[in-house]
Amino acid sequence: MDRQLKSFKDKNISGDIETDKMLFTEIFKKDAVFRMREISSKISNCLILFMDGMVNTTILNESIVKPLVLAKRNDFEEDKATFIKNSVIFANEIKATSNVGEMLSGILYGDTVLLIDNSKKALIINTKGWRARGISEPSDERVLQGPREGFDEALMLNLAMLRRKLPTPDLCVEYLTCGRKTDTKIFICYIDSVVKKRTVEIIKKRIKKIDIDGVLDSNYINELINENKNSWFKTIGSTERPDVVAARLLEGRVALMVDGTPVVLTIPYLFVENFQSDDDYYLNFWFAAIGRILRYICFFIAVFAPAMYVAITIYNPQLLPTSFLLSVATSRGGIPFSTFVECIVLSIIFEILKETGIRMAQGVGHALSIVGGLVVGQAAVEAKIISAPLLIVVALSGIASLMLPKLKTAIFYYKIILILSATFFGLFGLFVGTTVMFVKIFSLRSFGSDYTDSIFIFSKSSLKDTLVRSPWNYMVSRPHSLTENFRRFRMK
């Protein structure tokens, strides 16, 4: 028997409880947690089907089993399924259906199916009760001040947390499924009066085109609907914080919530968002401006510092002050490798240390970073394997990149490309490589929105949340590329 859900989309139950029992027994004959229980009631013989561990047993016993066993009436005018649904079962959500595919989806998602003898309709009863991880602050998105809650792996809990932030009927939630075997549920969330309707349609159209065995995380959707698959810059945002999702919806974006993962996708995603932090909006705007400006500075240090050092020391040493040039020349005495090789090797080693520190247990990771960064680095300099000035430049570039985790991939690849360009063509190669990078940034679009609209199209309104964060009473309009409802703030 083909046990894929799509095989049962057009199949209905027979109405004979023994025949239907054999059908579900055959479907789940290799599933050790599938449960069936027969109930003799004065209304009719019934059979409940559910997955052990996925249902709330209290709801199952008190709202389904007990009412059926104690039911006394057997004189009713409507059919059995309708009478049991309206007058017997205690549950907040009950759906009557004859479709086997719908029943299987319900059982596999934690609902209970009630089969009734001599009735061609069964009841799908909401009894979901699996355990969730609990609400906690996302470890990668900690803030100094502000909300301390993060999304969970349970989709309905995540939606409830979002609705707490946006208690308005204007918040729309549309439902899709994806994955031939996982049938993963996806919620498309947006504020109807703010969002561009074309953006919503583009997203739904791309999701419906996906044909894959399973979707286990939101990154599956990210890669499959992304229009810039070969770009090193993110064009789809991601977050685990309900407050961030709410703020982005208020600006006209769309959120994709995928069942089984705490990571929520936000679309469109603009270049300026790489430099924004949650703290920017929870702290005083003067304090937030310092962090925002430092992030822009760190981006240029992380990408350009190693390549600039290589270009100047190899091709244009006359640009350096004499004392500094002598120091560099002295430090390179006895070094067996060229500046280019040193720079590439050090950059890769720094990435290895960073990734190892992340993957290892927290205590071991910190110790490894200290040993790798201080002991090994100092030993390499003293052994004349690498030069101290280049070690400082690469380390400064690596530390600066930590300020911009959203640009991690782009910074690494463009840093290597610019080092290569500077090695072979000097400052001219660095200029050409920089031009190519900015042309690439300018050419990107995110679901119909200009990727650089907020940062490179200078206007009075767009600059108020770009280089710095202006006071709230000055940020009266939303980003123009995201919405047609521009007005955000009105003075009374």
Indicate whether 413 pLDDT > 90: yes
d(CA 56, CA 53): 8
Q: Is the pLDDT of residue 468 over 90?
A: no
Mean pLDDT of the chain: 84
Q: Is the pLDDT of residue 418 over 90?
A: yes
| Whether 250 contacts 281, CB under 8 Å | no
The answer to whether the beta carbons of residues 181 and 213 sit under 8 Å apart is yes
**Residue, of 141 and 306, whose pLDDT is higher:** 306
How many other CB atoms are found less than 10 A from the CB of residue 29? 10
More confident residue, 205 or 459: 205
Q: Are 411 and 302 in contact (CB under 8 A)?
A: yes
Taking residues 168-179, report their average pLDDT.
Answer: 88
Q: Where are the domains of the chain?
A: 5-125, 155-281, 285-443
Q: Which residue has the higher pLDDT, 206 or 136?
A: 206
Helix count and strand count (H, E) for the chain = 17, 12
Record the tokens describing residue 306, joined without a space: 């190693």
Helices (H), 218-260: 218-225, 242-250
pLDDT at 42: 84
Euclidean distance between CA atoms 20 and 39, whole angstroms: 15
Cα→Cα distances 176→10, 186, 202, 206, Å:
19, 5, 14, 12
CA torsion, ordered 309, 412, 241, 261, to nearest 10 deg: -170
Sequence-ordered list of residues with C-beta below 8 angstroms from that of 8, at least 6 positions apart, any chain: 99, 100, 101, 104
Residue 344 to residues 70, 81, 313, 327, 434: CA-CA distances in angstroms? 77, 71, 15, 21, 18
CB neighbours of 32 closer than 8 A, spacing ≥ 6? none
